[in-house]
Structure 1
Amino acid sequence: MAPAFVSLRKLPVAALAFLALSFGAWAEDLAIVGTGDGIEMLQAIATAYNAGGAVRVTVPPSIGSGGAVAAVGGERQKLGRVARPLTEAEKGQGLVEVPLTRIPSAFFVHGGVGVTGLTSAQVAAIFAGTTDNWSAVGGPDLKIRVVRREDTDSTLAVLRSSMGGWRDLVLTSRSKTATTTQDAIETVRQTPGAIGFGPFSPALAGDLTVLAIDGNTPRDPAYPSAVTLALIYKAATRDAAAADFLAFATSDHAKRLLEERGGAPLKP
């Protein structure tokens, strides 16, 4: 049975000061290292947690899910963030994952396209370049302008691993490569007929249309492409500070913050 911990956020200031002096590590930042997926979500949770005045939590730039596994598994960090499930070998090293939310991979189009949903097969055909006019999928007689991401992009990796027809899909050469999510959004917003993809966020709504895929919107449990954002820890090194943040990150308050930033409910 895991040891019980008293919430640091509920202790009086004097007690916190004593603990910080007695256990020097608690006076340091508690870094949550790992994937770049959902980094803004975790930064929002860290900001809300830090307002309580206990240990200061930071969310450093991405070192990838593998970097989180190496850092926490090697006992160099107490907490990590991952956008893939732990392997059985990693669990065998004592690593434990705590799922927080699903991050869907959204497809969005210029507001003038007039299409609100596509099938998985239609999306694959568009990004392969075999469908190049919106009239072929129920839209106007308008050339499709594909906005893609670089081959190392995390959302593209998610699509290749989870979206039907994408594993070996060769993206059309008649496309524009965006180097950041914001670049992709702005290019689609400014280009009639354009379609792009990126992590789902409510901020995409407005003059862009976020497409339903196979009849499911990004937040629907049956939506075909998403990653699960999770925190990881090693039972041998989880201390009171780490346990306290894990409790906060899975609280109703944190869930609301995740939903506000595009997080979708976890699958049962």
Structure 2
Amino acid sequence: MASAFVNLRALPLASLVYFTLSFGAWAEDLTIVGTGDGIEMLQAVATAYNEGGLAHVTVPPSIGSGGAVAAVGSERQKLGRVARPLTAAEKGQGLVEVPLTRIPSAIFVHRGIGVNDLSSAQVTAIFAGTIDNWNAVGGPDLKIRVVRREDTDSTLAVLRSSMPGWRDLVLTSRSKTATTTQDAVETVRQNPGAIGFGPFSPALAADLTVLSIDGHAPSNPAYPSAVTLALIYKDNTRDATAADFLAFATSDRAKRLLEERGGAPLRP
């Protein structure tokens, strides 16, 4: 289907007047709330869209996938962003999901540790607390500081479903719980010896070491864990501006932007 995206700034004045009268404003604000997974990706897509879309789109800090479901489900927002599938009950409330890209789940550590690759068994033991010093896996004599996420976190759910040893893993009680992806990244960055997890982004490598697992980097097709980033909406609040952004977000241009920032193709 051809994109409904229209470059308003390239239109003559008469056409601009028509669009203004038709949609109420030349640049309506459209806020897309939700997960922190892939936030930099969607912000890049929003920036490109804002060059000439029907609305000015913003992608604010994370309120989680559950926050997006609540906001769109209650019709307080037209669009939301999620990193987990909608449940049957949520679909029954009229929510619709539009998958955009896959985001590999990354295990990352403080830059000073000097470890670049771990086996899946070593990662499991670290997050279980049975390995508590980096010298046990080839690193320095330094206490391991585990940073985890809440039990409902989308990346944790994907790790449990796909990473060997994680399905029934009891995370160590000697850990700090981060409430958002940004919090997890910042906590690991600031604390020597820290290890955490979250959605993969090439930007992580600027401040952290992103581990290969069993010899596979997150961008490798053999790397097992990934979440699917999707937009959600309800039919009765999917107006012209929401539809226009959905069309752009699934366009070839948006796909290129997502892939440049670490997104992987959707599975058939």
Under a length normalisation based on structure 2, what TM-score does the superposition of the two structures give?
0.79
Measure, in 2, the Cα distance between the counterparts of 1:206 and 1:27.
35
Change (3 A) 1:90 1:14: farther
The aligned residue for residue 151 of structure 1 is 150
Measure, in 2, the Cα distance between the counterparts of 1:77 and 1:174.
38
Are 2:252 and 1:252 equivalent residues in the alignment?
yes
Give matches, 1:1-268, under 5 Å.
6-9=4-7, 12=11, 13-24=13-24, 28-52=28-52, 54-111=54-111, 113-134=113-134, 136-137=136-137, 139-140=138-139, 142-149=141-148, 151=150, 154=153, 155-156=155-156, 158-160=158-160, 162-175=162-175, 180-187=183-190, 191=192, 193-205=193-205, 208-268=208-268
Change (3 A) 1:239 1:142: same
Identify which range, 126-135 or 241-250, moves more after superposition.
126-135
Identify which range, 144-153 or 207-216, moves more after superposition.
144-153
Task: Kindly indicate whether the alpha-carbon contact (under 8 Å) linking 2:3 and 2:248 is maintained by their aligned counterparts in 1.
Answer: no
The DSSP-based 3-state class of the residue aligned with 1:44 is helix
Provide the alpha-carbon RMSD of the alignment: 3.3
1:191-227 Cα shifts (integer Å, max 9, x gaps): 2x54333332212325743211233321233423222
Measure, in 2, the Cα distance between the counterparts of 1:264 and 1:136.
33
Change (3 A) 1:233 1:64: same
Measure, in 2, the Cα distance between the counterparts of 1:246 and 1:15.
22
Identify which range, 244-253 or 18-27, moves more after superposition.
18-27
How far does residue 173 in structure 1 lie from its aligned partner after superposition? 4.7
Change (3 A) 1:182 1:116: closer
How far does residue 114 in structure 1 lie from its aligned partner after superposition? 4.5
Instruction: For structure 1, list consecutive stretches of 5 or more residues without a partner in the other structure.
Output: none
How far does residue 72 in structure 1 lie from its aligned partner after superposition? 3.1
Measure, in 2, the Cα distance between the counterparts of 1:178 and 1:236.
35
Aligned residues: 262
Task: Kindly indicate whether the alpha-carbon contact (under 8 Å) linking 2:37 and 2:198 is maintained by their aligned counterparts in 1.
Answer: no
Amino acid at match of 1:7: F
Change (3 A) 1:175 1:33: closer
Measure, in 2, the Cα distance between the counterparts of 1:124 and 1:37.
22
The DSSP-based 3-state class of the residue aligned with 2:47 is helix
Change (3 A) 1:47 1:141: closer
Instruction: For structure 2, list consecutive stretches of 5 or more residues without a partner in the other structure.
Output: none
Measure, in 2, the Cα distance between the counterparts of 1:237 and 1:161.
33
Change (3 A) 1:253 1:129: same
Under a length normalisation based on structure 1, what TM-score does the superposition of the two structures give?
0.79
The DSSP-based 3-state class of the residue aligned with 2:232 is strand
